[in-house]
Amino acid sequence: MKSTSRLGAWVAIAIGTIYFLLPLIATFEFSLKMNRDGYSFEAYKVVLSDPGFQATFGYSTLMAVLTIIVGILLVVPTAYWIQLKLPRLRPLVEFITLLPLVIPAIVIVFGYLKLYNSSAWLPLTGNDRATDFLLMCSYVTLALPYLYRSIDAGLRAIDVRTLTEAAESLGASWPSILLQVIFPNVKSAILSGAFLTFAVVIGEFTMASLLGRPAFGPYLQLIGANRAYEPSALAIIAFLVTWASMGLIQVFARNARPARKTA
């Protein structure tokens, strides 16, 4: 009985491994075939030296960093405040932060285009800088579920009230309580939310494409429609970026665990 169920488990894991590794292997193999006379990293060389790649990847990286900063500045004080002062608002705030998982991104951006078009009361699609701002806000919206859940869990694991009262009795002001007491204590939660946000934003297509900004996602789509080997190289690069983001989350989560116990 035991050995048959273990065999079944091995079979399940083996089939899963094949299904998940095969596309990666195939993509990698395809990306090496740009030169007709054998395997080479030619496609990677072409992609990495393409000014379009550099510009769009840089743009999306900048967007991701801005999204993370604004997202953290929005979510940490809110989650902290809810925990400390307004616990009865928690269900409402949690519900709002889950909405971006319920409302598809394409619907949200459609709403932006209707609400903020160039003849509207707040014409955020009127010029490039304003649209960049709108795109960043759309990414903060997309990141809300991940950021809020991660940071809220981090705050619950520490004694917010005691820390706040201790800091206050030592004469700390509100900004320094947040920056010097709360932020450092939920650093690993913030970082894991931040890396997840990075992974989501870096290749995002729908928002950037419909807002007409030169991000990495629309660039990927353009290359995919026009080139043969470069898309595979780009897919491998994108996979490595996602993998790196997730790996860093694991690293920080592991480092944080013993620290939290002593705190």
Partner 1 sequence: MPTSPDSVTHCPPEAGQARKRLAPSALNWLGVVPFFLFALLFLILPTATLMIGAFQDANGHFTLGNIAKLFDDSILSAYWISFEVSAASALGGSLIGLLLALAAIQGGLPAWIRPTLMTFSGVASNFAGIPLSFAFLSTLGRMGLVTVLLRNYADFDLYSTGFSILSFIGLTLTYLYFQIPLMVLIVTPAIDGLRAEWREACESLGGSSVAYWWHIALPILWPSILGSTLLLFANAFGAVATAYALTGSSLNIVPILLYAQIRGDVLHDQNLGYALALGMIVVTGLSNAGYIWLRSRAERGRE
Q: Of 95-154, which residues contact partner 1 (CB under 8 A)?
A: 96, 98-115, 137-138, 140-141, 144
Nearer to partner 1, 48 or 210 (CB): 210
Nearer to partner 1, 193 or 217 (CB): 217
Q: Give the count of residues interacting with partner 1 (CB under 8 A).
A: 84
Nearer to partner 1, 250 or 262 (CB): 250
Closest separation between CB of residue 64 and partner 1, Å? Answer: 13
> HEC string of the chain?
CHHHHHHHHHHHHHHHHHHHHHHHHHHHHHHCCCCCCCCCCHHHHHHHCCHHHHHHHHHHHHHHHHHHHHHHHHHHHHHHHHHHCCHHHHHHHHHHHHHHHHCCHHHHHHHHHHHCCCCCCCCCCCCHHHHHHHHHHHHHHHHHHHHHHHHHHHHHHCCHHHHHHHHHHCCCCHHHHHHHHHHHHCHHHHHHHHHHHHHHHHCCCHHHHHHCCCCHHHHHHHHHHHCCCHHHHHHHHHHHHHHHHHHHHHHHHHHHHHHHHHC
Closest separation between CB of residue 73 and partner 1, Å? Answer: 9
**Site for partner 1 contains 235 (CB under 8 A):** yes
Nearer to partner 1, 153 or 246 (CB): 246
**Site for partner 1 contains 39 (CB under 8 A):** no
Closest separation between CB of residue 90 and partner 1, Å? Answer: 11
Q: What angle do CA 236, 237, 239 make, to 5 degrees?
A: 65
Closest separation between CB of residue 114 and partner 1, Å? Answer: 5
Closest separation between CB of residue 200 and partner 1, Å? Answer: 7
Closest separation between CB of residue 108 and partner 1, Å? Answer: 6
State how far the Cα of 178 lies from the Cα of 219, in Å rounded to an integer: 39
Asked whether the beta carbons of 234 and 223 are under 8 A apart, the reply is yes
Residues 174-233 interacting with partner 1 (rule: CB under 8 A)? 174, 196, 199-200, 203-206, 210, 217, 220-221, 224-225, 231-232
**Site for partner 1 contains 5 (CB under 8 A):** yes
Stretch binding partner 1 (CB under 8 A), from 53-61, 152-160, 181-189, 240-248: 240-248
Closest separation between CB of residue 131 and partner 1, Å? Answer: 13
Kindly tell me which residue out of 20, 49, 119, 171 binds partner 1, with binding defined by CB under 8 A.
Answer: 20
Task: Report residue 237 as tokens.
Answer: 């690069």
Nearer to partner 1, 203 or 262 (CB): 203
